[in-house]
Amino acid sequence: GAGAGAGESNKVYEAPPIFAGVVAYLDGRTGRYSALHLTKLVQLHGGECNISLGKRTVTHVICENLCGSKLHKAINAGRHAQKLQFVRPEWILESISARKRLREVNFSILKDSSAQKLESVWKI
């Protein structure tokens, strides 16, 4: 018969649904990380991905930095833009490693100067 622990090495990874409710937009500026790979990881862990930032359903923008046109588009999104989370790709990877959704503020790209413009627009 099989000894204790037999088959454990073949155990299938069960992805926890840590991104349930997340609708991510990956803008292609994901640095050394493949946007396609990140998309698959989000989906595997219960989230969705959208190909357009203009959709009101997007909750998270995943990128290393924002280019001017994306920043402009987010500003023009008005009230919806206030709810958007702009986070680095590491948020996805580290959340998966921790097996829970980590706080976005720790991965926010809104700490740099270009994104502070976006925050100041919201406060008007």
Q: What is the tens place of the pLDDT at every residue in 25-65? A: 997 788 899 999 999 999 999 999 998 877 678 999 999 87
Q: What is the tens place of the pLDDT at every residue in 64-116? A: 877 666 666 665 655 555 678 989 999 999 999 999 999 999 999 876 544 45
Separation CA 83–CA 104 (nearest Å): 12
Confirm whether pTM is higher than 0.85.
no
Burial class for 24, CB neighbours closer than 10 Å (0-12, 13-18, 19+): buried
Q: Of 3.90.226.10, 3.40.630.30, 3.40.50.10190, 3.40.50.1220, which CATH number belongs to 16-123? A: 3.40.50.10190
